[in-house]
Chain A
Amino acid sequence: MRFTARLMAGLLPCLLAGCSVPEQAESLEWFHDEAAARGIDFLHASGFTGRYMIPEITSSGAALADLDGDGDLDAYIVQSGSLTTDSEVTDQIYFNQGDGRFKVGTSPPDSDGYGMGVAAGDYDNDGDVDLYVTNLGPNLLLRNDGSGRFENVAQAAGVDEPGWGTSAAFLDLDTDGDLDLYVTNYIQWRIDAEIECYMAGARTFCPPQNYKAPAPDQLFRNNGDGTFTNVSRLAGLPLAFGNGFGVVSADYDQNGLPDVFVANDMMANQLWLNQGGLRFSESAMEWGCGVDAAGDAKAGMGVAAADIDDDSDVDILVVNLEGQSDSLYKNAGTWFEDATAKAGLNVVSRRYTRFGAVFADFNNDGWLDLYQANGAVSPIPDNEGDAFAEPNTLYRGEGGRFALVTPDGGTAQKLVHTSRGLAVGDVDNDGGLDLLVVNRDTHPYLLMNRVDQRGNWIRFRVLTRGGRDAHAATVSVVAGGQRKYRDVQPAASYLSSNDPRVHFGLADAERASDVRVLWPTGAVEAFGEFGEGDTVTLQEGTGKRIVAQ
């Protein structure tokens, strides 16, 4: 008994405190949800009434962008609605009051479709940020009047595609100075053709492969006059497609042209390598990022791309279903290596079903961290309340390896919902990157960065000669003796659009040196050195040219 008592005395506090701290996991609060306190009162509605129609489990996305041109990030959150009845719920705009608190704006134009995702970009080069909202049904092109009021011009512009649009991206793929539009499509679905699926003897949502109807993606070339032309056939898109969910662009093969990576659900991914003239070569299988290392196509949902190991090329992460690991494709120059296991993600990432995913330096230590928005697609037995709810996950990054942060999602608050869309940006301009998470059938999270002792930082607003955000430009800086690269890449994650400004964590460095920009035109300009803690505007043509286009 004495031995037992001593043992209990020694072990019990240890156990209750969870004192076994594994090498891989860390415990500290990184974020705090302040959506309600800061005025984000959005309530998502999937319209689910028990029929288990597949669109009802996909939920929606959000954009963080400066919609009213006042220098801070506003929010646009997509509403799903209802597949069976006229719904009065709508998308919502929230204008930032300058300090990360928000006020609801005028409701944007309504749509006939079931809301999915949103892409942000100044497609008409008039100096304000426009939006493309994807739907199950006709998509919307919301032209900004400069004050954050929008008009739907999709039909006139020729981009009111009626299919099931998911993630979209504004990209200048022909480098002619205006933003073209890539739209990922999921499956060809009709409500009267919905099928029934069961798991454990109870109804559930069908997986996409049951429909055997993947939908080809669409590419629209910007004509420069407010209209677009569908150039999907020219680009080669009908040759390869899947159940498309995520899209992210970067110059993966470093030939000077932006390429497009598409994550497909339970089908091989696509890597569209830009050959110029809006012609693309689909090369995912050859490049090793079509399937995982074992040759399996996984349930690709969200996607993120960045140079996670500072070797100047862009790596890709695809997040998948519970039971399937993430797929981290490390760029090896002319192909991708599945580095999921080497990154420490192979086992730990399989716990939940992941949708939104972002690489961002949340603690400003110079290394990109990873946040994932999770939520199941089949009811979890014994879940109380929301049958699909799962906690989100946060990993601290270091040179291409990732360590799980506990508690889940880096929050002391217990946040467990069915999360989907995820956008990252600094909404209070305090140097800490925050997160906006859309949750199915409930309120979103606005996760304010609360990392203690964050490192130094610098941020760049990267503009074309015409003054719009230079999508696909690459900024590089030298900090702490290391050159780091980040892209202007608002379109990524799942159905969402991120802050287009380029953020660098500098750790202890007080300056970012030898700042350079590789413009989408191919020109490289040097902008010198800047002190930490500031947001600097870099505009094409105002730097010192190093390499001509």
Chain B
Amino acid sequence: MRTRRVWPRRWLAMQEYAHLPRLRPLGSAFVHDASAPPLRAILLTLLLLSLGGCSEDLPGDLPGVPSGEEEQELVDALQRLHEAAEQRPSDGETRGRLAMAYDVNGFPDRAIIVYGQAAVLAPEAFNWPYFQALLMVRTHNDYVGALASLDAAIEVDDTYVPAWLSRAGWLRDLNQTEDARVAYDRAAELGAGAPAAVGIAQLYLGEGQFDEAIAILEPLSADTPDPRIDSLLSRAYRALGRAVDARIASARGRAARSGMQWLDPRLAIQAKFIAGFSNRLLHAQNLIQASRPAAALDLAEALVRERPNDIGAINTLAWANAALQRIDTAKAVLRDGIERYPDEPRFHQMMANAYSEEGDTDQVRQHLERVLELDERNARALEDLGWLVARAGETDAGIALLESALANGAPAPKQVLYRLGLLDGAAERWGQAAARFRDAAKIDAAYTMAYVYLGRCLAEMGHFEEAAIALDWADYLGTHEEERAASRSRLAALQAPARERAAPEPESQ
């Protein structure tokens, strides 16, 4: 077995976690402190080196397999991988597989130890120090140790973009701005795109260079709607006194879904080590949310076969089918679920969503009413039912339900207010409608249609100047051109008679 020079920090990282749970701390000397400088680490390393050098022949014992309240299926899976690693003690790949299993199934301390061991056994492998580094930050805030591990991975392959993005972000967190900039630049060279650009913008913001940050963030905001980009942009605008722009950016940021991602393909290999019913269920749900319903479907089907009475599994299977637009199948799953659990409101809510996709309003209504029988303060159901009945002509009932949704915590109050405004406007209750649209715009300063209809309502009330201001705001936001034009026309039409009345009488000859 060849002996390889060890990076002191990485060795220390292994030792820091090797003390769990067997070694007892020596007073405060082994208290883990992410903010502590490396002096103590270097001293310890020197001591250890002086005691016999730095041999890699024995990377250390494997930590024991958990034996608490974990699911047996999970424990069995871990045990199999543990035994495989014991049978091949010098094989880094086998040890790495065990580490990944600990990692994805929620045992970070064990994962960190075993990743470190795998890295020693297979120094040519990128994954083991890389995964170890990610975990050390995520679960222990050990930036120093993580950077050492990450550097070891980068030594193996310095073209992997996520590694450079992680390096840059951690250095930024440690206020090592120049080093962070170098890392972001490297990531950008390798084609990282928006994440690297945003990182550099964050560095500019931290240094008070707001114009430079805006120069990066504005084009990104147009191309890549992402709450973080808009939030950073809002911050830059504020610092420069551009309050209106800040307000709009923060509103956009609140509404946006994340459009800026850099997938980490290497992490994908960990998924096959997810074990245990509950972990696999969570994974299926995460896949749906990550817009991978096909992968989720296979998993969900397996879960329901294993446990046909599990509410979570049934729900997830229905959700996956619905995400794939297999509405009939989703409904069949939900019907089965409702038969088993007639009082489970989530099944009825999902069934209402499924029928809504098909336009079967009677069924939608039936299931939403059942949700409210089971949970009278369910804001989502109140809102959906309120809008449904209002559009069916039961305006007063619809308004009452929508107002109840607001009082009970509707998840998107601006939408409820907007709908209430439309209903009041249709009944020509202009003042009430204006109040609703004004409130919706208060929540979301970038809600163009709220301003459009606010302007319309104010115009109908004869408040022409205020109406013009509202429409100016809508113009500033710049979307919904036709609707803005229509409201402007109506304003002009209402203003004309008033102007005529106000015009001076022509002189008679």
**Contact residues of A with B, CB < 8 Å?**
3-4, 7-8, 11-12, 14-18, 20, 22-25, 27, 188, 190, 193, 195-196, 198-203, 212-216, 233, 236, 238-241, 268, 281-282, 285-288, 290-291, 293-296, 323, 332, 334-335, 337-338, 341, 344, 346-348, 350-351, 381-382, 404, 406-408
**Shortest distance between the CB of A213 and any CB in chain B (Å):** 7
Of the residues B32, B174, B379, contact of A347 by C-beta under 8 Å: B174
Cα distance A335–B27 when bound, in Å? 44
Q: How many A-B residue pairs have CB under 8 A?
A: 202
Q: Are B40 and A18 in contact (CB under 8 A)?
A: yes
Cα distance A4–B409 when bound, in Å? 68
Q: Are A190 and B234 in contact (CB under 8 A)?
A: no
The 5 A-B residue pairs whose C-beta atoms are closest, nearest first, are: A200-B106, A198-B278, A295-B228, A295-B231, A285-B250
Per-residue A-contact encoding for B334-349, CB less than 8 Å = 1, 0 else? 0000000000010000
Cα distance A200–B278 when bound, in Å? 9
Q: Are A200 and B232 in contact (CB under 8 A)?
A: no
Q: Are A18 and B28 in contact (CB under 8 A)?
A: yes
**Shortest distance between the CB of B437 and any CB in chain A (Å):** 13
Q: How large is the interface on B (under 10, 10 to 19, 20 to 34, 35 or more residues)?
A: 35 or more
B282-314 contacts to A (CB < 8 Å)? 282, 312
Q: Are A25 and B36 in contact (CB under 8 A)?
A: yes
Chain A residues with CB below 8 A from B261, complex form: none
Q: Are B254 and A285 in contact (CB under 8 A)?
A: yes
Q: Are B47 and A382 in contact (CB under 8 A)?
A: no
Q: Are A350 and B66 in contact (CB under 8 A)?
A: no
22 A-B residue pairs with Cβ-Cβ distance under 8 Å, sorted by A, are A4-B50, A7-B46, A11-B43, A11-B46, A15-B43, A15-B44, A188-B379, A190-B375, A198-B278, A201-B106, A239-B439, A239-B442, A290-B254, A295-B226, A295-B232, A332-B239, A335-B238, A335-B239, A344-B35, A348-B141, A381-B109, A406-B31
Of the residues B28, B70, B239, B409, contact of A202 by C-beta under 8 Å: B70
Cα distance A23–B36 when bound, in Å? 8
Cβ of B491 under 8 Å from chain A: no
Of the residues B39, B228, B380, B443, contact of A240 by C-beta under 8 Å: B443
Of the residues A22, A334, A382, contact of B109 by C-beta under 8 Å: A382
Cα distance A14–B70 when bound, in Å? 41
Of the residues B29, B228, B408, B442, contact of A296 by C-beta under 8 Å: B228
| A188 touching B408 in the complex, CB below 8 Å, given contacts A293-B202, A382-B109 | yes
**Shortest distance between the CB of A416 and any CB in chain B (Å):** 12
Per-residue A-contact encoding for B227-253, CB less than 8 Å = 1, 0 else? 111111011001100010011001101
Chain B residues with CB below 8 A from A193, complex form: 345, 375
Per-residue A-contact encoding for B459-493, CB less than 8 Å = 1, 0 else? 00000000000000000000000000000000000
**Shortest distance between the CB of A334 and any CB in chain B (Å):** 7
| A294 touching B202 in the complex, CB below 8 Å, given contacts A16-B26, A285-B253, A348-B33 | yes
Chain A residues with CB below 8 A from B109, complex form: 381-382
Interface centre among B234, B312, B406 (most CB of A within 10 A): B234
Cβ of B139 under 8 Å from chain A: yes
Q: Are A216 and B228 in contact (CB under 8 A)?
A: no
Chain B residues with CB below 8 A from A20, complex form: 36-37, 39-40, 43
Main secondary structure of the interface of B (DSSP, over half): helix
| A347 touching B409 in the complex, CB below 8 Å, given contacts A198-B279, A236-B439 | no
Known: A216-B408, A381-B66. 14 other contacts (CB 8 A): A11-B47, A193-B375, A201-B275, A202-B68, A214-B409, A215-B409, A239-B413, A286-B250, A288-B234, A295-B232, A334-B238, A337-B239, A350-B141, A351-B32
**Contact residues of B with A, CB < 8 Å?**
20-21, 26-29, 31-37, 39-40, 43-44, 46-47, 50-51, 66, 68-71, 74-75, 105-107, 109, 138-139, 141, 143, 173-175, 202, 205-206, 226-232, 234-235, 238-239, 243, 246-247, 250-251, 253-254, 275-276, 278-279, 281-282, 312, 345, 375, 377, 379-380, 406-411, 413-414, 417, 439, 442-443, 445
Q: Are A285 and B68 in contact (CB under 8 A)?
A: no
Cα distance A282–B439 when bound, in Å? 11
Cα distance A42–B68 when bound, in Å? 31
**Shortest distance between the CB of A39 and any CB in chain B (Å):** 32
Q: Are B228 and A15 in contact (CB under 8 A)?
A: no
Closest residue of chain B to A195 (Cβ to Cβ) is B312
Q: Are A200 and B66 in contact (CB under 8 A)?
A: yes
| A295 touching B227 in the complex, CB below 8 Å, given contacts A346-B173, A351-B141 | yes
Chain B residues with CB below 8 A from A239, complex form: 413-414, 417, 439, 442-443
Cα distance A304–B27 when bound, in Å? 32
| A201 touching B279 in the complex, CB below 8 Å, given contacts A16-B29, A241-B409 | yes
Q: Are A286 and B37 in contact (CB under 8 A)?
A: no
Cα distance A281–B68 when bound, in Å? 50
Cα distance A75–B222 when bound, in Å? 55
Q: Are B312 and A24 in contact (CB under 8 A)?
A: no
| A406 touching B28 in the complex, CB below 8 Å, given contacts A238-B406, A288-B235 | yes
Chain B residues with CB below 8 A from A347, complex form: 34-35, 141, 143, 173-174
Chain B residues with CB below 8 A from A200, complex form: 66, 70, 74, 105-107, 279
Interface centre among B69, B231, B253, B275 (most CB of A within 10 A): B231
Cα distance A370–B508 when bound, in Å? 83
Cα distance A236–B143 when bound, in Å? 43
**Shortest distance between the CB of B133 and any CB in chain A (Å):** 15
**Shortest distance between the CB of A161 and any CB in chain B (Å):** 12
**Shortest distance between the CB of B270 and any CB in chain A (Å):** 15
Cα distance A4–B49 when bound, in Å? 9
Chain B residues with CB below 8 A from A238, complex form: 406-407, 409-410, 413
Chain B residues with CB below 8 A from A407, complex form: 28, 31
Q: Are B174 and A408 in contact (CB under 8 A)?
A: no
Chain B residues with CB below 8 A from A216, complex form: 407-409
Closest residue of chain A to B232 (Cβ to Cβ) is A295
Chain B residues with CB below 8 A from A4, complex form: 50-51
Closest residue of chain A to B408 (Cβ to Cβ) is A188
Cα distance A407–B30 when bound, in Å? 12
Interface centre among A18, A193, A337, A347 (most CB of B within 10 A): A347
Q: Are B71 and A201 in contact (CB under 8 A)?
A: yes
| A323 touching B106 in the complex, CB below 8 Å, given contacts A4-B51, A8-B47, A406-B28 | no
